Structure 1
Amino acid sequence: MTNEPNRREELTKMTLCASCAGIQRNWRRAPGHAELVQLSSRRAERSDGDSGSHTVTLTSYRCDACGTRWEYENDKTNQQAGWSVVGQQVD
């Protein structure tokens, strides 16, 4: 069972600042913006289908302006990797 509808609803309620709203999501090499603060990096395995797997780097960021949490996936084999919203900081 998946929580995808709940996740979509949660992300819809978030308010992004103009700079965050301008980030092109799911596109490798798209730029972020100046108010993103890097938090941490980690490595993850991605499947290559029949040919095995490879390692990618996932870096977490937080926007100082609106608190949106982002993750950037650096996967040279996947053009649709890149920026994705993972939540928003609650004060």
Structure 2
Amino acid sequence: MSCDACNGIQQRNRKGQGHAKLTPIGEPVKVRNMGQPAVIMTHYVCEDCGTKWQHEDDKRDAYAGWSIEI
């Protein structure tokens, strides 16, 4: 079950914001499709509820941003 702070994250929206209790897991990974600029993927976990998140940083995609990892 997600905490209130995680429930407040706007998913699949490039302008959505995370919250202060999200801790990065590992290093950001650059994903590059042939002929396209790199997209940076970063994984996080919430310190309060344990929800695992993925953040996709792609300025060309309006639907990039936060998503819950399944």
Q: Which has the higher contact order (CA 8 A, sep 6+)?
A: 2
Instruction: Spell out, residue by residue over 1:28-83, the C-alpha distance to the aligned partner (whole angstroms, 9 max, x if none).
Output: 13110111011231011247xxxx42210001110000000101000010011000
- TM-score (ref. length: structure 2): 0.88
- TM-score (ref. length: structure 1): 0.69
Instruction: Name structure 1 gaps, 5 residues minimum.
Output: 1-14
**RMSD (Å) for aligned C-alpha atoms:** 1.4
Runs of 4+ in 1 over 2 A off after TM superposition: none
Larger radius of gyration, structure 1 or 2?
Answer: 1
Q: One-letter code of the match for 2:15?
A: R
Q: Provide the rounded CA distance (Å) in 1 between the counterparts of 2:57 and 2:7.
A: 20
Any idea what SS the aligned residue of 2:37 has?
Answer: strand
Structure having the higher helix fraction is 1
Instruction: Name structure 2 gaps, 5 residues minimum.
Output: none
